[in-house]
Amino acid sequence: MKKILSTILALAACTTLTAQDFKITHGPWLCDLTSDGVTVVWATSKPALSWVEVAEDDGRSFYAAEHERRYETVAGRKQARKTLHSIRLKGLRPDTKYRYRIFSQEVREWKYNDKVYYGDIAASNVYSRQPFAFSTLPTSGCDLSFVVLNDIHGRADYMAGLCRPIDFAQIDFVAFNGDMSNSTESPEQLYRDFIDASVGAFASETPILYNRGNHETRGIYADHLPEYFPKVGGNYYKLYMAGSVAVLLLDCGEGTQAAARRAGVNLMKLDAICLTHYHGDHIFGLPGLLQTLGCQGRERPLTLYGPEGLGEVWPALRTLTGPLPYPVRAVQLDTDPIDLTTLSSGWPAGAQLTPFRTRHRVPSRGYRLDLPRAGRFDPAKARALNVPVPAWKLLQRGQSIPLENGAVVAPADVLGPARRGLRFVFSGDTAPCPALEQAAQNADLFLCDATYPDNEQEAQAKQWGHSTFAQGAAIAKKAGVRRFWLMHYSPMILEPEAALPNAQAVFPAAECGFDGKQIILQYDEEAT
């Protein structure tokens, strides 16, 4: 009897060891977060068929309903012979919290054809904790929080110490900015150097955006790095855009669509087209652009602004475009400011577009864009008023927050004095005039008509309602602008740079504008 009992115990021990032999060894960690997807990565001790179950966090138990299984597939075929599993969760909703679990089923034998013998299932633990959670990036609202880590060089303990004081529940993503290891020699090294420490600190719920450093190009295992940090498109270096994108188009001449493509501007995101006047070189690109937006599936309304005469011009353009699958609202302007937040949620509170009368041969307008900046947020005041941390972003965006006790907290209750914002001014076609000088006051970027390069051409410029290089520079100087770009050159000007000294003699910082020229205007960090 004793011998039989010993045999039974030995068999039980053997069974236990066999069951434990297949397991999840590393992860999960999240990668390449976007507004509509994220990639889940983990490793198992043996080859397995793996899947993810994911659902929106609606407050109910994760197991209140059955969830679709998401598999890694290649050409429609499930991957079942891998130990490193990477599953892209697609078609998610922006700015939404999700919960998920990972599952892997051991593939014990694959004899022939599709005769597969499966073994045990390993899954993320749900007995001692809730399912993992993450939130997709927003498409509206511009406030995000992130952490940048780089040059760890394999010091996992050091990284863990850096991460310890951070509340990752308030962080949208973590950017790995290169040189996380000295070199890439093996999977074990990757896990030891930083992956396991990342999973322990945040990576199962706060996604990693990975950017390869020079040290990650070293080592015999370097070519395998994309398997551990997969990216949509396969490139290490990419532009991530999170939050709102708001786009205004100033005039629409021939070649506008081609220029936008070269500059990487998505015109589908247009909120409005602002016409300065109705000469052909400023509007002949409109019919084609409006048709293209329709062919690309635009449904959102589009606003068309312009000076006097829009009521006659728009019907003619409308005839050329034919039927459109989206509404176009044509608005004739005077000089009243436009609240841009009425166009889309991509604009900060208080953003204004102000048209002003210019001096051309026909009714014309220039445009001034003002982007205000709220005062500094005071966390101590927010805590004293018992404002929940998730609501802090809303207050910074200019929204009032109702509390459970019935009180309402306004942005002014937690924000300091307003800080200096940003100002952009576009002259359109114009001769010098007081309205232009007034609009350009303290502009961060001023684009001005510079049709004629030579100072001796002032009389000709006045006759045709344009400016010379030096006249535009004089306005920039009087207005105290920070950056000044010349534009709208005469077709006779083959090399604008040759005449640039005429402008720089008046305003030394003058620059020649050209197709595709770009700049990122940033708020002054210390401005009040």
Q: Just list the catalytic residues.
A: 281
The whole-angstrom distance between residue 273's C-alpha and the CA centroid of its chain comes to 22
Bridge-partner residues for 354, per DSSP? 368
343 and 371 in contact (C-beta within 8 Å)? no
**What tokens were used for 132?**
């993992």
Side chain identity at residue 209, one-letter code: L
Is residue 444 classed exposed, middle or buried when 0-12, 13-18 and 19+ CB atoms within 10 A define those classes?
buried
CA distances from residue 355 to 301, 305, 364, 462, 515 in whole angstroms, order as listed: 21, 10, 10, 22, 24
The C-alpha atoms of residue 504 and residue 472 are separated, in whole angstroms, by 11
- Give, as one character, the DSSP assignment of residue 394: H
**Residues in CB range of 126: below 8 A, 6 or more apart:** 62, 101
The C-alpha atoms of residue 516 and residue 261 are separated, in whole angstroms, by 10
358 and 430 in contact (C-beta within 8 Å)? yes
Residue 376: how many CA atoms within 13 Å on its side-chain side? 8
**Residues in CB range of 53: below 8 A, 6 or more apart:** 67, 68, 69, 70, 100, 101, 103
The C-alpha atoms of residue 29 and residue 125 are separated, in whole angstroms, by 15
The C-alpha atoms of residue 335 and residue 367 are separated, in whole angstroms, by 9
CA distances from residue 155 to 26, 174, 188, 195 in whole angstroms, order as listed: 18, 17, 14, 11
CA quadruple 149, 151, 157, 158: dihedral sign: negative
- The helix/strand/coil state of 121 is strand
Helices 496-504 and 469-479: angle between axes, nearest 10 degrees: 40
How do 510-512 and 484-487 pair as beta strands?
parallel
| Residue (of 226, 176, 181) closest to 201 by Cα position | 176
